[in-house]
Amino acid sequence: MEVLLVPDEKGVLRPAAELAYDDAPWLDAPTAGLEGELRLVHPRVSAPVAEALGVASRRRLMLAASADCLALGLAGAGGAVEAFGQSEALTTRLRHIIQDYPEGPGVLLELVQNADDAGASRACFLLDARQHGTSSLLGPGMAAWQGPALLAFNDAMFSPGDFAAIARIGQDGKMAQPAAIGRFGLGFNAVYHLTDLPSFVSGQHLVLFDPHAKYLPGASAAQPGLRINLSRGGNNLLRQFPDAFSPYMHFGCSMEGPFQGTLFRFPLRSSSTAAASDVKASATTTGQALALLKSLAAVLPQAL
């Protein structure tokens, strides 16, 4: 079988499978932690041409080096990131769910109920109105979701069953636990009133959902999300992707290892992301998010 040769950064012809194109320019040197030596393609070979020639993305290789079992489409790699997500064909279903599930404090009340089901003793909400950096992200598409976000924290951690349940949202997993009033049933999907890219940190994992399968690297219609193992990636991932992880650094979450709790992040849908959304075509402003928190505070005493 013929092997396609591509020039590396020194102009030496090498098999395309041995090279990566540099889509992580904020890193000066080849990344520590990858198996073997990372060789970059010649800088005059553009990223689209490199992709067409079968050269891998440097960002994808860094993630694959930290994957648990499925390496984002890179055969044979192992480490801390695996393709993970709600495996139904999602956007149409989510659009119908939120049409039937009203906006308002009930969206956040579901999260309080989920925390209660998990045995949490504390639940907090925070409106982060900042614009975070967009250079060192897991993928360029995530830049659209680095703006204001609503954060929801509780001091309980996801169980293995919780990870499985939230990935098959829309099915009737709650029926086996009649005492669980909100444990990742259809109501959790109400957060799609606010965002198209919900995510959370719990224990040793960061999970991100991308029902459009267009913002996260390696996401697909079959697996629209990622699960990153922070215990394996740890400091190396934080150094490689600081802008991607900094929005989660609240409530004692360092993103350098396991987090003793659960922190959801719901970046607010902007006018531009709303225009591109197949889930909901209207934006959520910081003012609307603040009003939502105030309405939750008003109804919470009666709901508990």
Task: Give a three-class secondary structure readout of the chain.
Answer: CCCCEEEECCCCEEEHHHEEECCCCCCCCCCCCCCCCCEEECCCCCHHHHHHCCCEEHHHHHHHCCECCCCCCCCCCCECEEECCCCCCHHHHHHHHHHHCCCCCHHHHHHHHHHHHCCCCCEEEEEECCCCCCCCCCCHHHHHHCCCEEEEEECCCCCHHHHHHHHCECECHHHHCCCCCCCCCHHHHHHHHCCCCCEEEEECEEEEECCCCCCCCCCCCCCCEEEEEHHHHHHHHHHHCHHHHHHHCCCCCCCCCCEEEEEEEEECCCHHHHHCCCCCCCCCCHHHHHHHHHHHHHHHHHHC
pLDDT computed for residue 243 by the predictor: 96
pLDDT for position 51: 87
pLDDT of residue 174: 41
pTM for the model stands at 0.81
pLDDT by residue (tens digit) across 72-105? 333 333 456 666 665 446 788 889 889 888 888 9
pLDDT at 163: 81
Tens of pLDDT, residues 199-220: 999 999 999 999 999 999 888 8
Q: What is the pLDDT of residue 267?
A: 98
**pLDDT at position 171, please?**
45
Report the pLDDT value the prediction gives residue 282, as an integer from 0 to 100: 95
**Residue 145 confidence (pLDDT):** 98
Q: Please report the pLDDT score of residue 144 as a whole number.
A: 97
- pLDDT < 50 regions, the chain: 32-35, 67-78, 87-88, 170-183
Amino acid 290: pLDDT:
96
| Per-residue confidence (pLDDT) for residue 34, from 0 to 100 | 46
